[in-house]
Amino acid sequence: AHGFAEMGAEVIKYTSLDDIYDKVTRNDIVVDYIDQSKAILNKFNVQPHCIDYPEELKPFMGRKIWVDTIDSINSNPSKWGIFVKPVKEKAFTGKIINSPKDLIGCGSESDNYEVLCSEVLNMKREWRCFVKYDEIADIKPYRGDYHYNYDPNVVDQILESFKTISGRPMGCSVDIAVVEQEGKLKTVFLEMNDGYSLGAYGLHHLDYAKVLSARWSQLLGVEDEYDFRKYR
């Protein structure tokens, strides 16, 4: 709200999505949780698509990724000791699975979720790179030991590869981490997150608003009023 207001936007606060649903137009930006934001996009027949692990960035991952199901992992101890996250966006928070107890909250009796599985990394610190129009707006740490820092050269390489992704989001995050592998520190790519509903993680309010605006404008096919690159 502060970011958009500072750029001259009219900011309308609401309590329930029902209060604004019928009033929202394609030129509006709704800042809300994922399900609420999707409801507005669905109103305009827009289905956002952002691949967590695009092929172009897999060389930077430093680990293997595969697909399985919750039930299969639960019933096979040989599959434990991995990190899982839902294929369905934000169905649950990704976590390391070492026993069935760790699967509590990862589904229900009727839902055998497909999950993305990966080898567990010895992560020292994690960051969120906020990307707007193929440029990094800022990089914010969100977990880990402050003694570690990423390799900016690797981040530059990740960004260059990101630019080759067809249909890539104009507003999104590219999460990275420093991990220890075989006694050496390495900067790796963790995952991409769509920018239509994205945690700010301390990003300056103006930059945050611009990231949201870039993605919403792209999805709805309208001019981004807050794309100020033309003034450079």
- Sequence-distant (≥ 6) Cβ neighbours of residue 172 within 8 angstroms: 50, 131, 192, 193, 194, 195, 198, 211, 215
* Spatial separation of the C-alpha atoms in residues 190 and 217, rounded to whole Å: 26
Q: Is the pLDDT of residue 20 over 90?
A: yes
Between 153 and 231, residue with greater pLDDT: 153
Between 44 and 86, residue with greater pLDDT: 44
Structural contact between residues 154 and 136, judged by C-beta atoms closer than 8 angstroms: no
* Average pLDDT rounded to a whole number, residues 12-32: 96
Length of the chain: 232
Determine how many CB atoms are found less than 10 A away from the CB of residue 131: 27
H helix and E strand count, the chain: 5, 8
Q: Is the pLDDT of residue 108 over 60?
A: no
* Spatial separation of the C-alpha atoms in residues 185 and 209, rounded to whole Å: 34
Structural contact between residues 120 and 97, judged by C-beta atoms closer than 8 angstroms: no
* Average pLDDT rounded to a whole number, residues 108-127: 82
Strand arrangement, sheet containing 95-97: 65-69, 114-119, 82-86, 95-97
pTM of the model: 0.86
Six-digit token pair at 103? 């699967």
Q: Is the pLDDT of residue 109 over 60?
A: no
Sorting pLDDT into bands at 50, 70 and 90, what band is 89?
low
Nearest to 25 by CA among 227, 228, 167, 216: 216
Q: Is the pLDDT of residue 36 over 90?
A: yes
If you search the block for the tokens 């010895």, which residue do you land on? 122
* Average pLDDT rounded to a whole number, residues 112-131: 90
Determine how many CB atoms are found less than 10 A away from the CB of residue 175: 17
Structural contact between residues 37 and 43, judged by C-beta atoms closer than 8 angstroms: no
Between 102 and 227, residue with greater pLDDT: 227
| R_g of the chain computed on alpha carbons | 19
* Spatial separation of the C-alpha atoms in residues 3 and 114, rounded to whole Å: 37
Q: Is the pLDDT of residue 56 over 90?
A: yes
Element containing residue 149 per DSSP (H, E): none
